[in-house]
Amino acid sequence: MMDYSFLQRQQTISSVCSSWWSLVEDSPRFWSIIEFSCPLAAISHSLEKSQSSDLEIKSFTDTEYDCAPMEFFGEETCLRLIAPHADRIRSLILSLSSEDGLLTVLGNPAPILEELKIDGPHCDFAQPLDLFCGQASRLSDVVLGHIPIGWDSDVLVGLRSLTIKEELGHLPTEGQVQRLLETNPWLEKLDIENVTDTEHFRGGAVQSTGEGKPSRLVMSKMQELRLWNLPFKLAQTVLDNVEIPAIRYFNLKCQFRGLSASRLLGPNIEHLLPPLLQRSQGAQRAELTLGEFNVSLAIYTPSCRGPTIEIELEETVPFSGSDWLAESFFLEKGLPSLCAADIFQVSLKFKDGFYMAGGAFIPILDRLNAVKVKDLVIESECERGEELIKYLGEAKEDSQWPLPYLTSMKIGGPAALADHLLIALQRRKQHMPVGEMPGAPRPVMLEVLDIGDLREVDGNVENALANCVASSGTFIPGWRRWRRASGPTNTESDIWYNGEGEDI
């Protein structure tokens, strides 16, 4: 059924028998769904037959929707057909290739409109739009992609959910953001993505209470907040003005441009994260990722497919972002506290381009020793990865072994890393730290070691590494290694061969 347009499904029902045909013909509701993939005559006929029924308007111009296009006469013509019926449109879902004809619909009052979803990746507007002349009092769910709108618009009031994506060059003022929040206290979901910075945005101080603390709007129904790929000041204005006691999902990606992460999140973290972690049940899992220009954190709870918390800090002061994340989430005063260490498991990943020389990141890792960092990944293009490997193989002065709960490692890079890795793992396996304190855990045995991305590892070293893994564990050798071979014309060529020396 989903491969057919609504018109085709309607025709199928009508063809069953004369009684069903009469039912369709005499029921305005059967004609109230208008799809732009239908012929113009069918659209006009449906508008007439629907009489005074509420309308659902759908425009499909790509394969995102399960609707097989029929005869298509152009978006502008269809939009002009429905424009006179704007006062009875209940749902308006448009995916458009241009702005032609769009204002004929958006420029009319829509008193019963409840759902509005518009995506116009190729639309070009000189200024923000005044939707529906400010008259859409029943509107509750709004998704706007590539459609500029004043954030203090009268139609963005009393909403249940709001998504604004790809709004290029029309960044709101701080006052407009504050008004948007104040006029939508019952929002359940707020999603702002890829809104670009302009000179018109002014980041001033938020209004304060008599105690000198920022006044916050308590949004008691909001469960999901997503601020993704936004300039610092826009994200800061949103977070500085809200308190969300029922939040269940938090996603943040912010462009810091040299600013410290604590300037944005430090004052706000206590208002956002306790409800998330307090509601979680059972084991929790976190992924901390360090890249060349960014650091990110994702926290997962058992009942959710995706992360309940996802934070990505772009262009922050080197290491301050990861230092802040470790301090806010994994220390005694952070979340979760040390008392939750037994149920919190962390995956640590160093992405391609991360520069380890000098070990400036080591103090950050020291903060993670109290929680169960079980998985470690070093991608092949990380620079000076031996700094981290050496760190793992040496007990600290307090007899604390680095990342003692580590059970899984995936390492990529040059063959020289394998020698450092072997030394570190043998020390973790065989040597007790001198003067070990009773409360200091020693490293556990590795259950998984994957060196498939290490290049040209010596066979003896590879065998020794395999012995550092538990007998019931998994060892993935560097079975795809480069070697130089002479071709049939006595020229050297690169070929692949597996760990046993067989050509692939």
- pLDDT given at position 121: 81
Mean pLDDT of all residues in 8-23: 64
Nearest Cα to Cα of residue 386 among 425, 434, 419: 419
| Residue-wise pLDDT tens digits, 375-400 | 999 888 787 888 889 889 888 776 67
pLDDT digits (tens, 9 = 90+) for 59-97: 864 444 444 343 345 778 888 889 999 999 999 999 887
Mean pLDDT of the chain: 77
CA 280, CA 339: separation in Å to the nearest integer?
Answer: 15
Q: What pLDDT sits at residue 185?
A: 94
**Greatest Cα pair distance in the chain:** 92
pLDDT digits (tens, 9 = 90+) for 444-499: 889 999 998 888 888 899 999 999 998 889 999 875 444 443 344 334 334 444 44
Reply yes or no on whether the pLDDT at 193 is more than 60. yes
User: What are the b/e assignments for 484-504, b being 16+ CB within 10 Å?
Assistant: eeeeeeeeeeeeeeebeeeee
* 186: DSSP letter: T
HSE-CB of 36 using CA atoms within 13 angstroms: 23
From 310, 239, 248, select the one nearest 280 (Cα to Cα): 248
Which pLDDT belongs to residue 209? 34
E-only strand ranges, 4-85: 33-35, 55-59
Average the pLDDT over 133-138 and give the result: 93
Least confident of 39-43, 134-138, 428-432: 428-432
pLDDT above 70: residue 293: yes
Q: What is the mean pLDDT of residues 51-66?
A: 69
Tokens found for residue 407:
């059970």
pTM: 0.78
Q: Work out the burial of residue 430: count CB atoms within 10 Å of its CB; fewer than 13 is exposed, 13-18 middle, 19 or more buried.
A: exposed
Structure tokens at 207: 């209004």
Q: What are phi and psi of 261, to 5 degrees?
A: -60, -30
Element (H, E) at 175: helix 174-182
- What CA–CA distance (Å, rounded) separates 481 from 478? 6
What pLDDT was estimated at residue 197?
57
Q: 115 pairs with which residues across the strands?
A: 91, 141
